[in-house]
Amino acid sequence: MKKICPFLLGLFAFSTLWAQSTMHETYGKQVARTKLALFEKDFSPSSQEKDSLKQKYADYRSEVSSILDTLELSDRRKQKLLLELHRNPFSEKVQKVVALVEEK
> How open is the CA angle 11-14-15, to the nearest 5 degrees?
85
Q: How confident is the model at residue 84 (pLDDT cuts 50, 70, 90)?
A: very high
* Range from 15-19, 23-27, 93-97 carrying the lowest mean pLDDT: 23-27
Distance of alpha carbon 62 from alpha carbon 55, whole angstroms = 11
Give pTM, 2 decimals: 0.56
Mean pLDDT in residue range 70-92: 91
Cβ contacts of residue 36 below 8 Å, gap of 6+? Answer: 43, 44
> How confident is the model at residue 52, as a pLDDT?
93
